[in-house]
């Protein structure tokens, strides 16, 4: 019997640095924004999902149109757009948007039920939404959690201080959705620290070899729809 292929999970963290967090909420002694914090969330979540065996794309590139195109082309089995919220500085709570389909509704509720009890806010709800592009355009179940309100000082600091826990709880929701065992981390992960260089083995992934450069460039164009960082190297045979 062959080995079952694990689901593909596409992560799309907010890319707008203009969505600033409350000025009193500090990350490494500095003010921060939604792009930085959702980038952290995506990194933690990628680590957790990979540990549990999922195939993951952490799409910190392009805009939402580029990302949805890549998610559909892969294709992903689940599309997660990672966000925090903003309103008037006083509202706080977790709100999860999902496409109005059974599967999207189910993963949305699983995430909502895990994150909402953690957050300091109480304005919490699961919202079915077919207007948002990252919910209606993906061809797979899609969900957009807004983990908390970043303009609320208390909740903004909570978001910053609990990003790994938020990611792990989201990972557990994804595991439950797909019926996959959750594998807990051996120890707390600090992705904010600079890694200590060490000797290690690296494995290169090659997806094609061509004698004609034109053929290589044509294939690279197709691969970049899913893996934008792909490139051509010339090897003398």
- 188 part of a folded domain: no
- 1 part of a folded domain: no
Strand-pair partners of 145? 96
Average pLDDT, the chain: 87
- 35 part of a folded domain: yes
Position 236 pLDDT exceeds 60? no
Give residue-wise pLDDT tens across range 76-107.
999 999 999 999 988 999 999 999 999 999 99
Please tell me whether residues 146 and 94 are part of one structural domain: yes
What pLDDT, on a 0 to 100 scale, did the predictor assign at position 231? 64
Position 216 pLDDT exceeds 70? no
- 3 part of a folded domain: no
Place of tokens 């952290």: 40
Determine which of 67-71, 88-92, 224-228 has the lowest per-residue pLDDT on average: 224-228
- Percent of the chain exceeding pLDDT 90 equals 73
Helix (H, G, I), strand (E, B) or coil at 92: coil
Q: 184 or 218, which is more confident?
A: 184
Please tell me whether residues 172 and 98 are part of one structural domain: yes
Please tell me whether residues 158 and 211 are part of one structural domain: no
Position 219 pLDDT exceeds 60? no
What pLDDT, on a 0 to 100 scale, did the predictor assign at position 89? 86
Position 212 pLDDT exceeds 70? no
pLDDT category at 26 given cuts 50, 70, 90 is very high
CATH of the domain at 42: 3.40.630.40
Give CA separation, 131 vs 61, 97, 144, in Å: 23, 10, 12
Helix (H, G, I), strand (E, B) or coil at 97: strand
- 31 part of a folded domain: yes
Counted domains in the chain? 2
Determine which of 3-17, 144-158, 201-215 has the lowest per-residue pLDDT on average: 201-215
Helix (H, G, I), strand (E, B) or coil at 130: coil
Where among 131, 146, 178 does a domain terminate? 178
Q: 229 or 155, which is more confident?
A: 155
Helix (H, G, I), strand (E, B) or coil at 58: strand
Please tell me whether residues 206 and 174 are part of one structural domain: no
Task: Spell 185-198 as b/e; 16+ CB within 10 A means b.
Answer: eeeebeeeeeeeee
Q: 229 or 202, which is more confident?
A: 229
Name the nearest CA neighbour of 173 among 110, 224, 229. Answer: 110
Q: Pinpoint the alpha helices (H) of the chain.
A: 34-51, 64-73, 102-115, 133-136, 153-161, 163-178, 213-223
Give residue-wise pLDDT tens across range 109-142.
999 999 999 999 888 899 999 999 999 999 999 9
- Percent of the chain exceeding pLDDT 70 equals 79
Please tell me whether residues 129 and 207 are part of one structural domain: no
What pLDDT, on a 0 to 100 scale, did the predictor assign at position 62? 94
Helix (H, G, I), strand (E, B) or coil at 82: strand
Supply the pTM of this predicted model: 0.79
What pLDDT, on a 0 to 100 scale, did the predictor assign at position 188? 60
Structural domain span for residue 53: 8-178
Q: Return d(Cα 115, Cα 133) in angstroms, integer.
A: 23
Residue 196 is given by DSSP the state P
Please tell me whether residues 28 and 79 are part of one structural domain: yes
Please tell me whether residues 18 and 62 are part of one structural domain: yes
- 22 part of a folded domain: yes
- 193 part of a folded domain: no
- 66 part of a folded domain: yes
Q: Are 170 and 56 spatial neighbours (Cβ–Cβ below 8 Å)?
A: no
Where among 127, 147, 178 does a domain terminate? 178
Please tell me whether residues 32 and 128 are part of one structural domain: yes
Task: Spell 19-52 as b/e; 16+ CB within 10 A means b.
Answer: bbbbeebebeeeebbbbbbbbbbbbbbbbbbebb
Please tell me whether residues 141 and 219 are part of one structural domain: no
Position 66 pLDDT exceeds 70? yes
Position 174 pLDDT exceeds 90? yes
What integer is the mean pLDDT of 16-38? 97
Please tell me whether residues 113 and 158 are part of one structural domain: yes
Vertex 131: Cα angle to 127 and 132 (nearest 5)? 80
Please tell me whether residues 162 and 210 are part of one structural domain: no
């Amino acid at each position: 019997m062959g080995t079952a292929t694990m689901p593909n999970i596409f992560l799309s963290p907010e890319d707008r640095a203009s969505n600033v967090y409350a000025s009193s909420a500090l990350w490494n002694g500095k003010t921060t924004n939604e792009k930085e914090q959702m980038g952290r969330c995506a990194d933690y979540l990628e680590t957790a999902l990979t540990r549990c065996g999922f195939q993951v794309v952490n799409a910190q590139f392009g805009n939402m149109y580029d990302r949805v195109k890549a998610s559909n082309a892969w294709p992903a089995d689940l599309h997660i757009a990672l966000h925090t919220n903003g309103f008037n500085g006083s509202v706080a709570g977790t709100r999860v948007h999902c496409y109005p389909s059974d599967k999207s509704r189910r993963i949305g509720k699983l995430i909502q039920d895990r994150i909402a009890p953690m957050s300091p806010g109480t304005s919490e709800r699961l919202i079915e939404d077919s207007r948002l592009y990252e919910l209606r355009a993906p061809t797979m179940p899609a969900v957009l959690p807004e983990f908390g309100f970043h303009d609320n000082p208390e909740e903004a600091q909570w978001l910053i201080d609990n990003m790994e826990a938020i990611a792990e709880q989201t990972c557990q929701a994804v595991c439950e959705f797909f019926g996959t065992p959750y594998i807990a981390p051996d120890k707390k992960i600090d992705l904010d620290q600079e890694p200590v260089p060490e000797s290690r083995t690296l494995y290169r992934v090659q997806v094609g070899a061509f004698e004609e450069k034109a053929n290589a460039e044509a294939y690279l164009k197709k691969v970049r729809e899913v893996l934008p960082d792909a490139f051509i190297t010339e090897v003398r045979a």
